[in-house]
Amino acid sequence: MSDTQFDAALDILRRLNPTALQENLKNLIELQPKLAQDLLSSVDVPLSIQKDPTHSHREYLCCDYNRDIDSFRSPWSNTYFPELSPEDLQDSPFPSAPLREMEILANDSFDVYRDLYYEGGISSVYLWDLNEEDFDGHDFAGVVLFKKTQSDHSNWDSIHVFEVTASPSTPDSFDYKVTTTIILHLDKTKNDQDSNMMLSGNLTRQTEKDVAVDMSRPLDVISTSHVANLGSLIEDIESQMRNLLETVYFEKTRDIFHQTKNAAIASSAEVNKGAHAEIIKGLQSL
């Protein structure tokens, strides 16, 4: 695969209707199968929802980071659904045992965050090791996912992919790198007036921050510190992203609406002015 082909594919996706992103992505992969892996790992699509049949059918979010073949790992039971064959399961990615404990803590913590900030929706957290040894307090990565869906087909998808590595310059300091993508889709339809309004798009930002963590503490305390630091960082990022979306999407949409409305009013006034002139001209000729 050449970089030119990959860049061209991304360029095409940026110019196509964002509401059909998944279909367009599928068509590009069919045209050029060699681009599949890079496109799937680079292009964020709306999150899908699946239920864990072994954990009271609790819902979890599916993305490329918890996917293996055509199955998705549940953060609640650490099991892939649909179930994989024993041969495929041997090669399936799982977090190490210590990191899995941290993943459980992160899911419980961000579930509280979701309830407070989203007042509904679904959240999922997936972690993976960055080295071959078991998690020892650093060098790990993961993704924090949020999805809120309204009954009128409006969706908010929040995807935070992060990496935590030990800072090479400062002892007991860690570098948190977060890439955040917000996918927004608003669909308002009024059947009685036969009118609708649709707004769709995405916004991506990268954030990096160094935070100190006391590595002399037990591993469970270190894990709690990492989850707290990530929570604080994601809280700040989402607040900034919401403000950006309000400015980029809603303010611009409001400006376009007012310009269109004013143009229609001006056009109507011009027509009425011409009609009035014709009536006056007719009366004067009597």
Please say if the pLDDT value at position 284 is more than 60.
no
Res. 286 pLDDT band, cuts 50 70 90: very low
Q: Is residue 172 part of a domain?
A: yes
CB 177 within 8 A of CB 130: no
Which pair of tokens denotes residue 171?
Answer: 């002892």
**Same domain as 141, residue 29:** no
CB 224 within 8 A of CB 105: yes
Q: Which domain holds residue 146?
A: 95-253
Q: Is residue 165 part of a domain?
A: yes
**Same domain as 161, residue 22:** no
Residue carrying the six token digits 């999922």:
124
**Same domain as 104, residue 11:** no
Q: How many domains does the chain have?
A: 2
**Same domain as 233, residue 103:** yes
Q: How far apart are CA 243 and CA 235, in angstroms?
A: 13
**Same domain as 159, residue 233:** yes
**Same domain as 100, residue 211:** yes
Q: How far apart are CA 213 and CA 196, in angstroms?
A: 51
**Same domain as 123, residue 36:** no
The candidate with the shortest Cα–Cα distance to 235, out of 114, 108, 75, is 114
248-280 tens-digit pLDDT: 766 766 777 667 766 656 555 555 666 656 655
**Same domain as 119, residue 28:** no
Q: Find the largest Cα–Cα distance for the chain.
A: 102
4-39 tens-digit pLDDT: 888 888 888 878 877 777 788 888 888 888 888 788
The CATH number covering residue 157 comes to: 3.90.1150.210
- Residue 270: per-residue pLDDT: 58
The CATH number covering residue 9 comes to: 1.20.58.570
Before 82, cis peptide (omega within 30)? yes
pTM for this predicted structure: 0.80
Concatenate the DSSP letters of all residues of 126-184 into one string.
EEEESSSSPP-SSSEEEEEEEEEE-TTS-EEEEEEEEEEEE-SSSTTEEEEEEEEEEEE
